[in-house]
Amino acid sequence: MAPTPHLALKPGTEWTTAWQRCLAVAPEAFRDDRVLNLWNGAWRPDGRPLPATTPVDGTPVAGPPRLDAATAHRAVRAALDHHRAWRTVPLADRKARVAATLDALGEHRDLLALLLVWEIGKPWRAARADVDRAIDGVRWYAGEIDRMTEGRSPLPGPVSNIASWNYPMSVLVHAMLVQALAGNAVIAKTPTDGGLACLTLASALAAREGLPVTLVSGSGGELSGALVRAPEIGCVSFVGGRDTGARVATAVADLGKRHILEQEGLNTWGVWNFTDWAGFGSRIRKTFEYGKQRCTAYPRFVVQRAVFADFLEVYLPAVRALTLGHPLAVASPDEDLPELDLGPLINAAKAKELTDQVAEAMDRGAIPLHRAGLAAGRFLPGQDTSAYVPPVVLLDPPSASPLHHAEPFGPVDTIVLVDTEAELLAAMNASNGALVATLSCDDRATYERLAPQIRAFKVGHGVPRSRGDREELFGGFGASWRGAFVGGELLVRAVTEGPAGERAPGNFPDYHLMP
């Protein structure tokens, strides 16, 4: 790779500067060389900090202070005491404290976003959007919570949150604040792969306003007894992969515990009897946002063979236009941070794994339609680029490849060609359930006939679907989701108790109920 020598870190965005700002804003939660765990209403220097580096350029950053199982159980028991006190706090008071927390998050919006850039490699625009979606989304709930909780009560115990690293604010912090708004104490485990400082700062701002927040770090295996199986826990909310999710699902099913388990699926975009190529081409670039490290990314296109040439004519130019590089590199100190499509993957190990999967798929017959390189990226001179993967597009991945049936969680698209509607549906349903899907076809009647046969919770007609905000519901079909669906009123319903015998919409061991 030939680095771009004229680029440099934008002044004021250095990791050391961000860290010093954290020390100044929340000295109770940060020490000179580490963050603290928050439990029983106090920030504690317990746990063994692990070394960590940023995927952006390999710079050392703060690592998670991992608790042992015994301490985690103590934290959960303390959270139950806080939960019992918090559930009696009047709703008006809860709303005021959450509103004050949102104001504080807004005041420190750019610092939270900068932490996301360094810790999980989000480009600046995406990082700020993550913070904004958390704040704006919870404000909407604060305005709607009275009607949503009417006739309902908080759970008997706190909500335990175990989430992946990719959306610390708009998924995890958002959920925590809505759960607290609904009358529950909340516990969160810091994702092992990133987001520690951002979550610590957000939790410190919430704790200052009196919200019953617990934030702990540790390995999933070590802490699962406390965060999943402990009798004090009222609900388990999990966002992550199918392997870990299956173990959590088994535990909560055995215990009969309330649960929300969002898991991965291969989200697909089908193209059938379609001609609006200008509109289609304008949407491709956005599908690569954050390197497709999103639960609602579209890594698989299922294309009718008869229109494949037209598809490529708009698809390939969009992919070739993608920009990649260091999210904080600028040509001059007064230049705005770059509007990049892609930064790094979450770590170098994930980048190597994905690169190896691509090479293996090609060895077994997949046809490379596009393979970008790092040479055109925006990088600092001599920087570590081991976590960066430029976009790749493969035609017909072999059935033995993980890229055939699983979500790559990186900037790798696969394309499958089909000739019949039956083949189209089979290819779009390759992963036993997904969160979202899209079908591009000109005829509305054809879409309405085929869409119900696609096993995804949300199916768009020619437009991508997302997790959604505010009143929009969210869930998954098949193995992509276990437990209660969320979004809008369903999120509050999932973490509160209603009339006796109430059945929540969702995928449960003994029933499936759509909203």
**Which pLDDT tens digit goes with each residue over 188-230?**
999 999 999 999 999 999 999 999 999 999 998 899 999 999 9
The string of pLDDT tens digits covering residues 378-401 is 999 999 999 999 999 999 999 999
pLDDT band at 115 (very low <50, low <70, confident <90, very high): very high
Q: Are 427 and 398 in contact (CB under 8 A)?
A: no
Closest alpha carbon to 268 in 58, 465, 102, 103: 465
Under 8 Å CB-to-CB from 34, ≥6 apart: which residues?
Answer: 45, 49, 62, 63, 65
Predicted pLDDT of residue 6: 87
pLDDT band at 1 (very low <50, low <70, confident <90, very high): very low
pLDDT band at 3 (very low <50, low <70, confident <90, very high): very low
pLDDT band at 248 (very low <50, low <70, confident <90, very high): confident
| pLDDT (average), residues 102-112 | 98
pLDDT band at 251 (very low <50, low <70, confident <90, very high): confident
The string of pLDDT tens digits covering residues 357-369 is 999 999 999 999 9
Phi, psi of 202 (to 5 degrees): -60, -40
Q: Are 124 and 160 in contact (CB under 8 A)?
A: no
pLDDT at 18 over 80: yes
pLDDT at 2 over 50: no
pLDDT at 371 over 90: yes
Domain covering 63-264+480-497 in this structure, CATH number:
3.40.605.10
Task: Indicate the pTM of the whole model.
Answer: 0.95
Residue with tokens 């306003």: 209
Predicted pLDDT of residue 5: 53
d(CA 386, CA 353): 12
Question: How many C-beta atoms lie closer than 10 Å to residue 13's C-beta?
Answer: 18
- Which fold would CATH assign to domain 268-461? Aldehyde Dehydrogenase; Chain A, domain 2 (3.40.309)
Predicted pLDDT of residue 241: 83
Predicted pLDDT of residue 249: 79
| pLDDT (average), residues 90-106 | 98
Amino acid sitting at position 38: L
pLDDT at 319 over 50: yes
pLDDT at 114 over 60: yes
Question: What are the domain boundaries of the chain?
Answer: 63-264+480-497, 268-461
